[in-house]
Structures are given as C-alpha cells and as structure tokens.
Amino acid sequence: MLVPIHRAGWPFVAVFALVTLVVGFFVPALFWIGLILTAWCAYFFRDPPRMTPQREGLVVSPADGRVTWVAKAKPPAELGLGEGELTRISIFLNVFDVHINRVPIGGKIARLEYHPGKFLNAALDKASEENERQSVLIEMTDGRQMGVVQIAGLVARRIVCELKQDQQVNTGARFGLIRFGSRTDLFLPDGVAPLVAVGQRAVGGETVLADLTSSEGPREAKER
C-alpha cells in the first residue's frame, strides 16, 4: 500500500534522488546507499490518512509517538494561559514516527507565537522551555482554551505550522509538521483529566487523550 507523502517532503526526496543519481554515476557502489536514504526520506514524510472520532468533546493526539509526560506543568508564557500549572501531555516523536501534526480539538486559532531557542534532546523536560517552539492556542466553542506546542529536537531544525490567526479548524485536521525528530506538548484546560499514561503509544488524529464531557479521573496503566 502506497502512503501519500506530505508536500513539504517532496523537495527533500527530490534532492536525495538527484544526489543518488549523480554520485551513483561516478561511484556505482554508492548508488544503493543513496537509494536507501532516498526511500527513508520518503518514508519520513509519509502522510497516512487517519480515522478521527467525531463525538463532541473528544481531544485527539496532535502527533504520533510515545507519551513521555502526563503531569502538571506551567504552560509557555506566550500562550497566555496564566501563571498556574495545567496538565501537560508530552509526545516524543522519533525519526521513524509519522511527523504530521494534527489539530487536537476543533475551534478557532486564538493565538500563534513562534519562540526561537536551542535544539536539545526533545525527550528532556527542559526542552519545553529552552528549545525552539511554535505555540498554538485553540479557543473552543464553549470559550475554554487549549494549548499545543510544536518543539524542535536534537535533529529537528525546522518547524512547519500552516495555521492562520482566527482560522476555524476541525478535530484531526493536519496543521503542520516538524522535520526529523521532535516533540509535541498539549496543555489541557483546568479540570480536564488525561486518559493516557506515560509509555503509551499515541496515534495522531486517532488516539483520544481526554474527554471534555467526562467526569472520569486520570487513568492508570500497567505494562503487560
């Protein structure tokens, strides 16, 4: 089954392919190495379709990857979510994960803020404050707000965010990507319990991270 490639990836795939042909012409043995690297580049930028649950109030994962943090944390100041701590769900994307970011909940884009910074290992907790990031504030129909933060990592050097100020977005819609390894943070509204646990694998646009209409408390999980 052929998986579509995100349009942001085609220039990279083309460069890899061109270099492979040129180098392979002079050094045939390197052609196969270049071919493997070209295939990996196409694989990295894959953009598979996802089945997003449509019930109102469901918050879906903004990224593929492993959940590395589910705890209270202070949101970035540029989000304007106040000085208090909110539940933060951090999802770490390695170079083999799908890197397309998706909208966790429908609403209006109330704020977009880019913050330059370092390129520390995105798995580190301090990467939330020190790394380059793109912060997105979503205002839902009930007035509550949710923050999503794209964080560059050790290898990632380019954050792509295609959202516009005041844009109306739907749950699960694609909104950007982070090239070559990264992290995505989600800050839940006060009083909303997370429905995932550290160590769990999340699928962007499909895995339910929280339910705004539920009174259920935080879920616990055990490795089996």
Question: Which helix (H) or strand (E) is 77 found in, with range?
Answer: none
Catalytic residue among 128, 182, 214, 215: 182
- Rounded to whole angstroms, the Cα distance separating 178 from 112 reads 16
Name the nearest CA neighbour of 88 among 51, 108, 115, 62. 62
Residue of 51, 62, 58, 54 lying closest to 100 (CA atoms): 62
Provide the CA 80 distance to its chain's centre, in angstroms. 20
Active site residue 182: yes
Q: Which of 97, 19, 102 is nearest to 60 (CA)?
A: 102
Active-site amino acid positions: 182
